[in-house]
Structure 1
Amino acid sequence: MIWNVVSDSSCDLQMSAFTSDRVRFETVPLRIQVGDREFIDNDTLVVPDLLDAMASEKSASSTACPSPAAFAKAFEAADCTICFTISSSLSGTYNAAVMARDMVLEEHPEKKICVIDSKSTAGAIVLLIRRAKMLMEADENGDFEGICNQLRIYQAALRTCFTLECYDNLIKNGRMRPLVGNLLKTLGIHIIADATPQGTIHVADKARGEAKTYKALTALMRSSKDCTGSEVVISHCENLSGALKLKQQILEDLPVKSVEILSCRGLTSFYAMQKGLILGF
């Protein structure tokens, strides 16, 4: 039996960073349109080039989800596939993956395919991918449904929160008034938000300066669930120094098991923008 883990490119995990003798891993890239340039969010995308293009472009940039055909190609590569997507409240990617599942099962009814809406992005999907890999490698009986059910329970327990420092993309897309965005940036005020259980975004707090922002984030983590023994993934958008400081704050304030730092890929950089930080736990 060939096990297959598939994710869209919002997961912040490079395909080259995944190793297993029993499980294959593939990311299906989203596309980012900046003016007349299109960026494919694969392992070769250079994020600073994307950010520079977005900063130079006066009009709003946009994203496009993968086609059902792109997901179908990934699903056809194995006997049993579990796919994770960015929150269906933020993108049409989940619907594209479900359409692909139905297409493949019509042609290959012997295959098993499960599509799970992460109701999140970034580090939360990384944690789901790694939990799937662990369960698949330990499986001896081909318990596909059992693994899918365990992953659905795990997904419901995961949380995501983030902080923004740059608001240019929100302003260009009409989601924030220029006066408000420029004022927040001038005053050094960071927006702190989290993902609801339904996968929508909720602005939870605002903080001025790095130190207060990181304390506010750990307070939000503490209030969202019992973090004892939790694995934490921090995705940073060209902000390694900030991620390291946040990691230290988390280790000081919360009884977590571990804190890992990853670089944002293209899609999460599009949303987090320069110096943004996203936590999955």
Structure 2
Amino acid sequence: MTWNIVCDSSADLLTKQEEGCVRYTSVPLRLLVGAREFLDDERLSPTHLLECMREEKEASSTACPSPAAFAQAFSQTDCTVCFTISSNLSGTYSAAVMGRELALEEHPEKKICVIDSRSTAGCLVLLARKAKELIGTGDADFEEVCARLRIYQASLRTAFTLENFDNLIKNGRMRPLVGNLLHSLGIHVIADATAQGTIHVADKARGEAKTYQAIVRLMKASKDCTGADVVISHCQNLPGAMKLKELILRELPVRSVDILGCRGLTSFYAMEKGLILGY
């Protein structure tokens, strides 16, 4: 059997990969900045996107992929497992479910599983990697793979920290006075994702070192991290990601910590210096 691991572009992975019987496909969201529209594919420069967002005085927004875009991805192989950004943050999950129905109308023999990650960024990367591991050489049982992926999804956690609040201010989610005060004082917001996939502000810290220590405390309190894999997505902040990685490896019994650069959508939300962790 041939398999396709499909993610929307909130996963900070290359848009297309293929290895043996398993391929990886990224279905891009659209990013709307004033009158300009950006497709979140391999041609998009996150740096250029952020420059445009800084220049734009009005709020920026995102638009989920069409069901037809997902249906096209789902029709490429015998079996598909798809992971989307949290349904509480985007309509992408609903579009993927509709895409599944469209694909099955034309190809009823296809096997398609759509999973709401309840998260974004690194958690989708971890889910894609777990799917590849479970699929193996391609002869894995489809229903068993899907069941194990749902269990794995429930075990994952997300945390992130922001330094730049411009996007939140422009979208009316933070008052300008509060955002400017936080920035001038060097205060970082530390947040995590709830089990329902909504955002919860967990802490605030002043300065880089205290922020990373607070993130490690949050990770330790949220789950047993023994043997866990961690993915850090950074938005133009590789030095900070490296420091956080060193602290995590020193303080927690994790198995691995990988660092990825944010693509368009995660840059849109994290802004400059932002860090998003999946673990």
TM-score by length of 2: 0.98
The count of aligned residue pairs is 279
Match of 2:267 in 1: 269
Root-mean-square deviation (CA, aligned residues, Å) is 0.9
1:161-201 CA-partner distances (Å, limit 9, x unpaired):
00000000000000000000000000000000000011000
Give 1:2's aligned residue. 2
Indicate whether 1:42 and 2:41 are aligned: yes
What aligned pairs does 1:232-251 form with structure 2 within 5 A after superposition? 232-251=230-249
**Structure 2: which amino acid aligns with 1:100?**
G
**Offset from partner CA, 1:92-136 (integer Å, 9 cap, x none):** 000000001011112211100000000000000000000101111
Residue identity matched to 1:266: G
SS at match of 1:12: coil
**Runs of 4+ with deviation above 4 angstroms:** none
Aligned to 1:180: 178
Match of 1:219 in 2: 217
Instruction: Report the counterpart of residue 162 of structure 2 in structure 1.
Output: 164
2:219 maps to a residue whose letter is M
Name the aligned partner's letter for residue 184 of structure 1.
Answer: L
Structure 1 position 154, deviation (Å)? 0.3
CA contact (8 A) 2:21 2:138 kept: no
Query: Is the Cα contact below 8 Å between 1:71 and 1:100 reproduced in 2?
Result: yes
Specify the alignment match of 2:190 in structure 1.
Answer: 192
CA distance in 2, matches of 1:225, 1:43: 34
* CA distance in structure 2 between the aligned counterparts of 1:72 and 1:261, rounded to whole angstroms: 31
Unaligned residue ranges in structure 1 (runs of 5+): none
Q: CA deviation at 1:139?
A: 4.8
Alignment partner, residue 66 of structure 1:
65
The DSSP-based 3-state class of the residue aligned with 2:108 is coil
Q: 3-state SS of the aligned residue for 1:10?
A: coil
Deviation of 1:138 (Å) = 4.4
Shift of 1:19: 4.6
Q: Is the 8 A contact 1:12 1:265 kept in 2?
A: yes
1:26 aligns with 2:30: no
* Per-residue CA distance 1:189-216 (angstroms, 9 max, x = gap): 0000000011000000000000000000
Q: Does the 8 Å contact 1:236/1:263 carry over to 2?
A: yes
Q: Secondary structure of 1:11's partner?
A: coil
Cα distance in 2 between the residues matched to 1:4 and 1:73: 11
The alignment-based identity, stated in percent, is 69
For 2:19, what is the secondary structure of its paired residue?
coil
* Aligned mates of 2:43, 2:225 — CA distance in 1: 34
Q: What amino acid sits opposite 1:240 in the alignment?
A: L
Farther-moved stretch of structure 1 (131-140 vs 212-221) = 131-140
SS of equivalent to 1:38: strand
**Residue in 2 that maps onto 1:201:** 199
C-alpha separation in 2, matches of 1:277 and 1:220: 14
CA distance in 1, matches of 2:265, 2:15: 15
Query: Counterpart in 2 of 1:150?
Result: 148
CA contact (8 A) 1:22 1:137 kept: no
The whole-number CA distance in structure 1 between the counterparts of 2:271 and 2:96 is 26
Look up the match of 2:133. Answer: 134
Instruction: Name the residue aligned to 1:95.
Output: 94
Structure 2 letter corresponding to 1:137: G
2:22 touches 2:138 (CA, 8 Å); kept in 1? Answer: no
Give the 3-state SS of the residue equivalent to 1:63 in structure 2. strand
SS in 2 for 1:235: strand
Measured after TM superposition, the shift of residue 271 of structure 1 is 0.7
Q: In structure 2, how many angstroms separate the alpha carbons of the residues matched to 1:177 and 1:226? A: 36
Q: Quick check: 2:27–2:70 contact (8 Å CA) kept in 1?
A: yes
What are the Cα deviations for residues 225-266 of structure 1, in whole angstroms up to 9, with x where unaligned?
000111000000010011001101111110111100000011
Distance in 1, matches of 2:75 and 2:82, equals 12
Q: 1:79 to 1:19 in 2, by over 3 A?
A: closer
1:15, CA displacement in angstroms?
A: 2.8
